[in-house]
């Protein structure tokens, strides 16, 4: 990938981010789509950021379904990147998109997850936004008490944040809206005192927000705050203040081109007229507004409220035909809206289910691979153990346990081959039969255990005084056969003599005081074509002769 492409994608990303601040969401969404096209598939950190911004712009544009899709992809990426703050920010956007879709319970879950991530990461800014989103979701779930509780927490946190103006403004605003909703609940339930208290709280919060907005020169925020203040004033019996506030915010909205807020102000003015029972004027204003709002493809929720207000005022004027017409349109629009919303909900939930399923499958595949690795490892370990066991068995079959020398079985197998080869090659071979002298006495005098130690020490002496190629075997209790391959008989005699001396001179007293050990050896040279039994029998006879001649000697037979 060339660096030019990186710069272009990064540049687009920066401009997408800048569009958030300006509130230019149409352009922001366009730039985000371009950035996604320019980004490398493997550039997950930038993809995650771009998708989150795209989701934010789409959500602000009211394009909830597209927002939910982008935010869902961003959440997955952030999770893979182990970036809890990115994930939390995106969950907050996802929460707003789901609220727009009417999926309030799911929206609440996302906000709660964002809150948990924020607390874990100990990030107060993210925590503040998550608290606001939880509060907003509760408001949509018609739980004003809980909504206010969370929003108040957000406000308290916002007051402690450095550079927390945006968070503070949002908290005050949401709190004021929440109090207004609570006031409506109280009025409906006939709790007038509680309603008045909520209204007073709402005014106090939004007034603070207004001061904040004016101080920072943010006209959009100022217009919004004025709108909420006007709404609060509409609830009082004296409508002149409300009228003045609505005029003021409508003027501001017109001046700065906040079309949506301008239309909202028009509707608020019509509501004031209706409260004053000036229904004919209200109908006029509402009909003009209806034409306006349909023309500019305005927000469907406002359209619904206009139709309902028109029905209500026409009915009050006794214009039943017109009232019925608006009621029918209202019913149709509501039906269409609900149907579209239900379809969008189904699509979003299905997509989410598919993502969850894909996650589950990926997780299962990962676990399967891990299991297979473990099985392979286990198998390898088993094979290793089996091999070790087989080796041990093999050694046991060919080795004498006490001395580590070859046993009789190996000798029986190896000796005939060795003799046959020596005969074929006309190479010399000597065989010596060695036997400890008076070993029975040693056992009797020093015990069987010490006898065993004498045997294993003798084995060491045998090994030390012969070559690796020579065959050493324990053929009886304390009898050893030595096959000196390739050794002429004179050399063999020297080796045996050396061995005998080594045994006699060994410091046996270190094993037990007074212990003396000697060895008798019968030595014969292998004759061409001679078989094993005969050769051993001759060596035995030579040994017998060595014993007979007084032991501790080598006799050549």
Q: How far apart are CA 322 and CA 458, in angstroms?
A: 124
User: Is residue 437 at the binding interface for ligand GH3, with CB under 6 A as the rule?
Assistant: yes
What does 448 bind: Mg ion, ligand GH3, none (CB cut-off 5 to 8 Å by kind)? ligand GH3
Fill in the DSSP letter of residue 399: B
Q: Which two tokens stand for residue 401?
A: 């346990």
In whole angstroms, give the CA distance from residue 110 to residue 90. 9
Q: With CB under 6 A as the rule, give the number of residues binding ligand GH3.
A: 16
Among 192, 354, 420, 452, binds ligand GH3 (CB under 6 A): 452
Residue 439 binds ligand GH3, judged by CB under 6 A:
yes
Stretch binding ligand GH3 (CB under 6 A), from 31-39, 155-163, 280-288, 432-440: 432-440
Contacts of 379 (CB under 8 A, 6+ apart): none
List Cα–Cα distances, 511 to 334, 436, 518, in angstroms: 107, 16, 15
Residues in the chain, total: 557
Exactly one of 448, 468, 505, 513 binds ligand GH3 (CB under 6 A); that residue is 448
Write the CB contacts of 488 (distance below 8 Å, at least 6 apart in sequence): 428, 430, 525
Q: Which of 320, 440, 467, 534 binds ligand GH3 (CB under 6 A)?
A: 440
Please identify, using beta-carbon distances, which residue of 156 and 445 lies nearer to ligand GH3. Answer: 445
Q: How far is the CB of 386 from ligand GH3 (least distance, A)?
A: 31
Q: Min. distance of Cβ 496 from ligand GH3 in angstroms?
A: 17
Contact predicate 430/523, CB 8 Å: yes
Q: Output Rg (C-alpha) for the chain, integer angstroms.
A: 50
* Contact indicator for 10, 45 with CB cutoff of 8 Å: no
Question: Residue from 372, 477, 490, 494 that binds ligand GH3 (CB under 6 A)?
Answer: 477
Nearer of residues 118 and 546 to Mg ion, judged by Cβ:
546
Across the beta sheet with 429-436, the strand order is 471-474, 479-485, 429-436, 519-525, 554-556
Q: Could you say whether residue 435 binds Mg ion (CB under 5 A)? A: yes
Determine phi and psi for 387, rounding to 5 degrees: -65, -45
Task: Name which of residues 134 to 153 contact Mg ion (CB under 5 A).
Answer: none
Rounded least distance, CB 436 to ligand GH3, Å: 5
Question: Residue 78 CA to chain centroid, in angstroms?
Answer: 11
Query: Would you say 330 and 307 are in contact if contact means Cβ atoms under 8 Å apart?
Result: yes
| Among 439, 463, 486, 502, contact with Mg ion (rule: CB under 5 A) | 439
- Residue 74 or 436: the one with the smaller Cβ distance to Mg ion is 436
Q: Does residue 549 touch ligand GH3 according to CB under 6 A?
A: no
Among 435, 470, 485, 540, binds ligand GH3 (CB under 6 A): 435
Q: Does 400 bind ligand GH3 (CB under 6 A)?
A: no
- Closer residue to Mg ion (CB): 85 or 511: 511
Q: Which two tokens stand for residue 145?
A: 């008490």
Contacts to ligand GH3 by CB under 6 A? 435-441, 443, 448, 451-452, 455, 477-478, 547, 551
């Amino acid at each position: 990938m060339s660096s030019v492409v990186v710069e272009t994608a990064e540049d687009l990303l920066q401009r997408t981010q800048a569009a958030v601040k300006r509130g230019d969401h149409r352009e922001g969404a366009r730039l985000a789509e371009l950035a996604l096209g320019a980004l490398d598939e493997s550039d997950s950190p930038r993809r995650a950021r771009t998708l989150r911004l795209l989701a934010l712009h789409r959500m602000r544009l009211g394009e909830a379904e597209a927002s939910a899709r982008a935010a869902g992809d961003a959440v997955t990426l952030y999770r893979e990147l182990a970036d809890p703050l990115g994930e939390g920010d995106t969950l907050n956007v996802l929460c707003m998109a789901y609220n727009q879709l009417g999926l309030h319970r799911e929206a609440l879950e996302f906000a709660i997850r964002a809150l948990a991530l924020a607390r874990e990461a100990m990030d107060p800014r993210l925590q503040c936004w998550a608290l606001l989103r939880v509060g907003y979701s509760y408001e949509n779930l018609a739980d004003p008490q809980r909504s206010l509780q969370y929003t108040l927490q957000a406000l308290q946190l916002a007051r402690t944040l450095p550079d927390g103006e945006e968070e503070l403004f949002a908290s005050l605003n949401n709190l004021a809206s929440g109090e207004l909703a609570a006031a409506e609940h109280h009025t409906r339930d006939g709790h007038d005192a509680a309603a008045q208290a909520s209204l007073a709280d709402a005014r106090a919060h939004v007034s603070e927000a207004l001061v904040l907005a004016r101080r920072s020169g943010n006209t959009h925020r100022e217009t919004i705050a004025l709108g909420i203040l006007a709404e609060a004033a509409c609830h009082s019996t004296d409508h002149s203040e409300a009228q003045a506030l609505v005029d003021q915010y409508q003027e501001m909205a017109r001046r700065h081109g906040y079309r949506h807020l301008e239309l909202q102000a028009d509707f608020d003015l019509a509501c004031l007229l209706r409260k004053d029972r000036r229904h004919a004027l209200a109908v006029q204003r509402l009909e003009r507004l209806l034409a306006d709002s349909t023309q500019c493809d305005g927000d469907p929720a406002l359209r619904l409220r206009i139709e309902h207000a028109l029905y209500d005022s026409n009915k009050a004027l006794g214009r039943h035909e017109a009232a019925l017409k608006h009621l029918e349109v209202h019913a149709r629009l509501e039906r269409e809206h609900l149907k579209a919303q239900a379809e969008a909900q189904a699509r979003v939930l299905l997509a989410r289910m598919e993502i969850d399923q894909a996650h589950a499958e990926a997780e299962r595949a990962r676990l399967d691979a891990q299991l297979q690795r473990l099985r392979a490892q286990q198998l390898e370990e088993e094979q290793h153990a089996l091999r070790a066991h087989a080796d041990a068995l093999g050694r046991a079959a060919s080795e004498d346990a006490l001395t580590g020398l070859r046993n009789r079985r190996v000798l029986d197998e190896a000796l005939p081959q060795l003799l046959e080869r020596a005969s074929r090659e006309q190479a010399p071979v000597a065989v010596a039969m060695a036997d400890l002298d008076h070993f029975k006495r040693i056992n009797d005098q020093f015990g069987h255990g010490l006898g065993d130690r004498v045997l294993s020490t003798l084995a060491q002496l045998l090994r030390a005084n012969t070559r690796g190629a020579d065959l050493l075997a324990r053929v009886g209790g304390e009898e050893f056969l030595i096959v000196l391959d390739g050794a002429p008989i004179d050399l063999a005699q020297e080796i045996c003599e050396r061995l005998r001396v080594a045994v006699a001179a060994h410091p046996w007293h270190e094993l037990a005081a007074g212990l003396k050990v000697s060895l008798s050896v019968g030595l014969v040279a292998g004759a061409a074509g001679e078989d094993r039994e005969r050769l051993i029998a001759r060596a035995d006879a030579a040994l017998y002769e060595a014993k007979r001649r007084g032991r501790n000697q080598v006799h050549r037979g």
